[in-house]
C-alpha cells in the first residue's frame, strides 16, 4: 500500500503544482484589489508602492514557511 503522505507520490507533486499556481493567482488578485482600494482612498503611488512592498515581503515569508521540505 502506498503512503499517501510520501513526498514521491505523483498525486502529491501534481497537487503541489496546482497549489503554486493558485497561490500566484491569489497574490495577483489580492495585489490588484489592494491597488484599487488604495487609489479610492486617495493614497499616492509612492504610498501604494510602499504598501505593496510590505505585502510582497509578507507573502514571500508566508509561502516559504508553508513550502514543502526538500
Digit-coded pLDDT (tens) for 17-34: 888 888 888 888 888 888
Query: What pLDDT does 44 receive?
Result: 92
> Quick check: is 14 in a domain?
no
> Quick check: is 17 in a domain?
no
CB 23, CB 63: distance < 8 Å: yes
Cα separation, 7 vs 34, whole angstroms: 35
> Quick check: is 49 in a domain?
yes
Q: Could you tell me the residue range of the domain that residue 64 belongs to?
A: 30-70
> Quick check: is 3 in a domain?
no
Domain count, the chain: 1
**Could you say which residues of the chain have pLDDT below 50?**
1
pTM of the complete model: 0.55
Amino acid at each position: 500500500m502506498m503512503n499517501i503522505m510520501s513526498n514521491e507520490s505523483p498525486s502529491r507533486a501534481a497537487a503541489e503544482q496546482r497549489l503554486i499556481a493558485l497561490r500566484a493567482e491569489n497574490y495577483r488578485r489580492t495585489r490588484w484589489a489592494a491597488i484599487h482600494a488604495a487609489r479610492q482612498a486617495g493614497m499616492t503611488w509612492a504610498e501604494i508602492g510602499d504598501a505593496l512592498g510590505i505585502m510582497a515581503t509578507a507573502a514571500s515569508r508566508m509561502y516559504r514557511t508553508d513550502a514543502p521540505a526538500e
